[in-house]
């Protein structure tokens, strides 16, 4: 497995950050499965599947294809995956290879976890977001009734191969989308990302492989300490209570112009930093720095006041909530996350207003 940086993830599987598919090909040559299936959407079928097929020798790959996009991360598409597995006579010794971004990895893993009560799967993330976020943690799932990831399981893959070749197929907007999660890791750890690292990741140069490895390893250390998200792992939700609400609202109302996950949570970073200042008296410089970093992901996004109530209502169905309280993971300062923080509707709307006035 040359030119690979390896992480032993919780659940005793390997995550390999690679510059080629050599290690993946070697694994398939030694593995014994009844059939091999590759889950793709129209984008990965066109741009990434040929790369995979060129590397994999003497193994028949059965293609399972679905439509791309967060709007298709639902029961209907899950059913389509299962129907295609059945039509190809996939048995319990089949392998599902999820070739794509977060939607493919989350939904493919969920399908594998429930098909015939569970078949093995491998994650082959093709986006930066999937590499640094979905690659470890075992979270699988789909959206339901307009809410993010409401149905799913905790199920680990056999292996993850984060191959940087695939990042060359991404437009810059989608690289920024994944970079948002790397920013989050920097905020939580207190090790803010350097301009050099930003350039390496967004321009696919320099120490790209090492930067991805470090980000995945940071998340893996947290997941290993708290796989079922009872305590420390909750800090990884920083930016996501607000961000998921904005993302869900945008998906429902903005059609083709909907915000990407990383764009929505980058807005969430700023607003939740403001909430941290309101709740804990955090240094206002924290908000300023997070806001500046968020502008690397997308330009300032104003939240119209007549949308405040709709966004708060979406937050009321967030998975982290308890006993009717909206729960947040916030920052007291860089490297000082706190979680299970109850925040009122009044405080949320105040933070919205403060955010809108930032320049």
Q: What is the pLDDT of residues 104-125, one digit of tens each?
A: 999 999 999 999 999 999 999 9
Which residues is 142 bridged to in the sheet?
A: 151
- DSSP of 197-236: HHHHHHHT-TTHHHHHHHHHHHHHHHHHH-TT-SSGGGGG
* Cβ density class 132-164: b for 16+ within 10 Å, e for less: bbbbbbbbbbbbeeeebbeebeebbbbbbbbbb
pLDDT value, residue 181? 96
Closest CA to 249 of 76, 37, 10, 71: 71
pLDDT value, residue 281? 87
For 287, the token pair is 């908000």
pLDDT value, residue 147? 81
pLDDT value, residue 18? 93
Low-confidence ranges of the chain (pLDDT < 70): 1-2, 323
Q: What is the CA radius of gyration of the chain?
A: 20
What number of other Cβ atoms are within 10 A of residue 231's Cβ? 11
Which residues is 163 bridged to in the sheet?
A: 18
Fold of 232-356: Dehydroquinate synthase-like, alpha domain (1.20.1090)
Burial (CB < 10 A; 0-12, 13-18, 19+), residue 248, is buried
This prediction has a pTM of 0.91
pLDDT value, residue 2? 52
Query: Please, are residues 59 and 38 in contact by the beta-carbon 8 Å criterion?
Result: no
Task: Assign domain 4-171 to its CATH architecture.
Answer: 3-Layer(aba) Sandwich (3.40)
Q: What is the pLDDT of residues 215-243, one digit of tens each?
A: 999 999 999 999 888 999 999 999 999 99
pLDDT value, residue 325? 87
Q: How many residues does the chain have?
A: 359
Query: Please, are residues 90 and 121 in contact by the beta-carbon 8 Å criterion?
Result: no
Domain ranges for the chain, please list them.
4-171, 232-356
pLDDT value, residue 157? 95
232-356 shares the fold of 4-171 = no
């Amino acid at each position: 497995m040359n030119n690979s940086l390896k992480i032993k993830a919780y659940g005793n599987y390997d995550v390999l950050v690679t510059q080629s598919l050599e290690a993946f090909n070697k694994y398939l040559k030694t593995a014994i499965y009844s059939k091999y299936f590759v889950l793709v959407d129209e984008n990965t079928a066109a741009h990434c599947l040929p790369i995979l097929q060129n590397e994999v020798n003497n193994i028949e790959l059965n293609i399972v294809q679905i439509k791309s996009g967060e709007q298709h991360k639902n029961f209907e598409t899950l059913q389509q995956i299962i129907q295609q597995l059945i039509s190809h006579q996939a048995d319990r010794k089949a392998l599902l290879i999820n070739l794509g971004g977060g939607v493919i990895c989350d939904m493919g893993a969920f399908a594998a976890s429930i098909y015939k009560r569970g078949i093995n799967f491998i994650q082959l993330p093709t986006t930066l977001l999937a590499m640094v976020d979905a690659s470890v943690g075992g979270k699988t799932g789909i959206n339901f009734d307009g809410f993010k990831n409401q149905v799913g399981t905790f199920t680990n893959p056999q292996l993850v191969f984060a191959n940087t070749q695939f990042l060359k197929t991404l437009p810059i907007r989608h690289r920024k989308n994944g970079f948002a999660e790397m920013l989050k890791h920097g905020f939580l750890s207190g090790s803010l990302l350097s301009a050099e690292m930003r350039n390496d990741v967004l321009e696919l140069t320099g120490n790209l492989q090492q930067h991805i490895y470090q980000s995945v390893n940071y998340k893996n250390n947290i997941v290993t300490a708290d796989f079922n998200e009872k305590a420390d792992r909750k800090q990884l939700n920083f930016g996501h209570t607000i961000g998921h609400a904005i993302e869900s609202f945008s998906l429902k109302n903005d059609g083709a112009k909907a915000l990407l996950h990383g764009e929505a949570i980058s807005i969430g970073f700023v607003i939740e930093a403001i909430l941290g200042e309101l709740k804990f008296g955090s240094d206002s410089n924290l908000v300023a720095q997070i806001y500046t970093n968020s502008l690397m992901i997308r330009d300032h996004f104003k939240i119209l006041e007549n949308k405040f109530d709709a966004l708060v209502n979406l937050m009321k169905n967030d998975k982290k909530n308890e006993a009717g309280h909206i729960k947040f993971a916030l920052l007291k300062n860089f490297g000082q996350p706190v979680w299970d923080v109850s925040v009122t509707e009044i405080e949320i709307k105040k933070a919205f207003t403060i955010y809108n006035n930032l320049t």
